[in-house]
Structure 1
Amino acid sequence: MNAATTGLMAGIALGFAGFFGGFWAFLLVLVLGAVGLVIGLAVQGDLDLRSRRQR
């Protein structure tokens, strides 16, 4: 799945959450989506969560 398709699906999910659940449901879906994105990128290896600064 490419980035455009993923973005489209995320936008549709946020739209449904905002329409049916209101602002707080929209915000919850947005925050949980961001957390899932960070975890997914870390597991995939595209995001390094370790500190780059060494003393």
Structure 2
Amino acid sequence: MARDQKAKAKKEQLKGKAKESVGRTVGNESMTVEGRAERAKGDARQAKEKTKDAFKH
């Protein structure tokens, strides 16, 4: 289960980074903000999984 969550976090981070880059390139501030939010969500999910792993061992 944790592996699935880690993969989901990485996917969100990459998707957010791509959306942010495209938004910045085309000058779409809304898309840039969405990308940042998505990347932050992925970062938070990854941090949660790392914390769970730390307490598991």
Higher helix share: 2
Larger RCO (CA within 8 A; separation ≥ 6): 2
Normalising by structure 1, report the TM-score.
0.49
